[in-house]
């Protein structure tokens, strides 16, 4: 990080050019929670990774570029089956595999407090991820997760999606007045845009539609600004209602999101393929890495700016990891599933766009000498990220107070109180985790207590004998 530049200033620099209203939402979001900060500051994370040889020496793979606990989820593929897989490729690029694995391991540590995990439990989960990832990489045969092949929490998610239909999503995001369907602009998920901006986006989609097999499918009925995500919040993003297959029940919702340069590519010690535009990078790598690409996924140009288009689906969802609180066995199973998906994605990308051969990945997976140094580096990175969040949060609150007209003395006093509150909150989280661990080990504690009572009685008896 450049000298004399605060964490807050660095984050703002990395968000340059984003739409002010949605950027303000992002800054509030990442200031409020350390895991949200981790998710929303991938570039800062890569800047803070310890310099270990694996970041240069591990085999090159296709990376999604921002692998963490919440960047895997369900979606309907082009074949209309629902899969659970990697689902965010905004930062996708070619890089040594250690970057991708370190990012995920660090996310376990970053999310530990919200999942009520102790440090030892987070370490155990990180080791489970690396062990399973290495096993699947060494096996060299990619597979996939859908309803018939999933297990546990992932299977529950996919089974539950049977009841979600496009008509339900249309009902939630749109309204019908006088027989005409329009987007439901609620100021939260969908924001209004000007007539000029609507015309601009519709004109570009018309050009794209003209090159498709069924141009009428993409006939635009309404457009709004979409508020979603974390890392991409503030980038131009639209929700588009199109005619689809015709009639009120045949209409579709599309997601249209701006594609920025990859945060990881700037740090990867290798040359990147020469993609014409960023949207092409995102869609090309996603199509290679996942078992089946999401429906309608394609790069689109909007008057010189690169965007990624895909269907907005009722079946797109993430796991409710809060449901695993106190259930380490279930969470371990989920982490191992995510490890498999990571290895499978990298094996699919073997020998593509300059990535290592699948045989090289298999040999690397068979080695065990890289596990410990990568686990250590990822944990250090997570600790640094937490320190950065604390600094960011403090400055964010100070700036809010100044904008509200508070004096410098009031700002300073509030800052001191905030630091104490953060420390107390961290202490409470650790205390909760310790109390849960103690509760699980209660029988052992009782046995120790009983032994102590026996020793105390024996000591008293000896004392009485001596007194006599």
Which residue is associated with the tokens 């018309």?
A: 206
| CA-based end-to-end distance of the chain | 75
Residue 177 lies in a domain: yes
Closest CA to 383 of 49, 118, 120, 100: 49
Task: Quick: pLDDT tens for 427-437.
Answer: 544 544 444 44
Is 244 within 8 Å of 229 (Cβ atoms)? no
How many Å apart are CA 318 and CA 111, to the nearest integer?
Answer: 15
The residues, any chain, with a CB within 8 Å of residue 14's CB and separated by 6 or more, are 41, 43, 44, 263
Q: Which residues pair with 299 in a beta bridge?
A: 308
Which tokens belong to 408?
Answer: 């410098």
Residue 159 lies in a domain: no
> Number of structural domains, the chain?
1
74 close to 314: Cβ distance less than 8 angstroms: no
Structure tokens at 416: 């001191």
Give strand pairing partners of 311: 254
Torsion over CA of 454, 459, 465 and 468, rounded to 10 degrees? -130
What is the predicted pLDDT for the residue at 384?
97
Q: Which parts of the chain sit beneath pLDDT 70? A: 1-3, 413-468
Domain residues for the domain of 237 are 166-258
Handedness of CA 164, 166, 169, 170 (dihedral sign): negative
Q: How far apart are CA 264 and CA 251, in angstroms?
A: 37
d(C-alpha 376, C-alpha 103), whole Å: 12
- Give, in order, the Cα–Cα distances in Å from 194 to each of 188, 197, 201, 223, 307: 17, 5, 11, 10, 19
Strand partners of residue 61: 95
Please indicate, yes or no, if residue 186 is contained in any of the structural domains: yes
Is residue 300 helix, strand or coil? strand
Burial class (CB in 10 A: 0-12, 13-18, 19+), 279: buried
In a domain, 359, yes or no: no
User: What 3-state class would DSSP assign to 253?
Assistant: strand
Q: What is the DSSP letter of 273?
A: P
Q: How far is CA 365 from CA 135, 144, 326, 403, 449, in A?
A: 6, 19, 31, 53, 46
Phi-psi region of 370 (alpha: psi -120 to 50; beta: other; left: phi over 0): alpha
**In a domain? residue 17:** no
- Is 235 within the bounds of a domain? yes
CA-based nearest residue to 346, from 61, 22, 59: 61
Q: For residue 211, give Cα distances in angstroms to 6, 130, 198, 206, 221.
A: 47, 44, 21, 9, 19
| pLDDT per position as a tens digit, 193-252 | 999 999 999 999 999 999 999 999 999 999 999 998 888 888 999 999 999 998 888 999
Give the three-state DSSP class for 67. Answer: coil
Asked if residue 207 belongs to a domain, the reply is yes
| Continuous segment of H or E residues that includes residue 76 | strand 72-76
Q: Domain for residue 237, yes or no?
A: yes
User: Whole-prediction pTM value?
Assistant: 0.87
Pairing of strands 237-242, 190-191: unpaired
């Amino acid at each position: 990080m450049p000298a004399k530049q605060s964490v807050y200033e660095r984050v703002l620099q990395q968000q340059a050019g984003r739409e002010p209203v949605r950027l303000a939402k992002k800054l509030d979001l990442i200031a409020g929670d350390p895991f949200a900060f981790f998710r929303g500051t991938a570039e800062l994370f890569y800047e803070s990774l310890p310099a270990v040889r694996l970041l240069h020496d591990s085999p090159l793979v296709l990376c999604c570029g921002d692998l963490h606990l919440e960047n895997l989820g369900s979606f309907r593929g082009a074949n209309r089956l629902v899969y659970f897989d990697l689902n965010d490729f905004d930062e996708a690029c070619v890089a040594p595999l250690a970057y991708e694995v370190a990012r995920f391991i660090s996310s376990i540590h970053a999310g530990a407090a919200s999942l009520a995990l102790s440090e030892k439990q987070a370490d155990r989960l990180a080791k489970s991820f690396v062990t399973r990832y290495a096993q699947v990489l060494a096996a060299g045969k990619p597979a996939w997760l859908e309803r018939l092949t999933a297990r546990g929490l992932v299977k529950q998610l996919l089974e539950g999606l049977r009841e979600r239909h496009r008509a339900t999503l249309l009902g939630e995001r749109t309204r019908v007045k006088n027989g005409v369907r329009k987007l439901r602009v609620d100021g939260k998920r969908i924001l209004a845009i000007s007539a000029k901006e609507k015309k601009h986006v519709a004109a570009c989609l018309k050009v794209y539609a003209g090159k498709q097999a069924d141009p009428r499918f993409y006939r635009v009925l309404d457009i709004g600004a979409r508020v979603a995500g974390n890392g991409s919040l503030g980038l131009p993003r639209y929700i588009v209602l199109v005619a689809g297959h015709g009639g009120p029940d045949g209409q579709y919702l599309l997601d249209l999101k701006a594609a920025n340069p990859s945060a990881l590519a700037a740090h990867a010690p290798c040359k990147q393929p020469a993609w014409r535009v960023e949207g092409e990078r995102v869609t090309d790598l996603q199509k290679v890495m996942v078992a089946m690409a999401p429906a309608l996924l394609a790069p689109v140009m909007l008057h010189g700016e690169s965007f990624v288009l895909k269907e907005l689906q009722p079946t797109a969802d993430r796991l409710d990891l809060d449901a695993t609180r106190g259930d380490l066995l279930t969470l371990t199973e989920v982490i191992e599933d995510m490890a498999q998906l990571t290895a499978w994605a990298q094996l699919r990308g073997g020998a593509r766009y300059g990535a290592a051969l699948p045989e090289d990945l298999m040999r690397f997976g068979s080695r065990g000498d890289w596990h410990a140094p990568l686990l250590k580096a990822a944990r250090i990175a997570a600790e640094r990220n937490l320190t950065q969040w604390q600094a960011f949060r403090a400055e964010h609150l100070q700036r809010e107070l100044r904008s509200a007209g508070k004096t410098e003395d009031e700002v300073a006093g509030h800052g001191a109180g905030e630091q104490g509150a953060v420390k107390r909150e961290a202490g409470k989280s650790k205390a909760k985790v310790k109390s849960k661990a103690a509760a699980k080990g209660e029988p052992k504690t009782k046995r120790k207590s009983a032994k102590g009572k026996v020793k105390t009685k024996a000591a008293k008896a000896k004392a009485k004998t001596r007194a006599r």
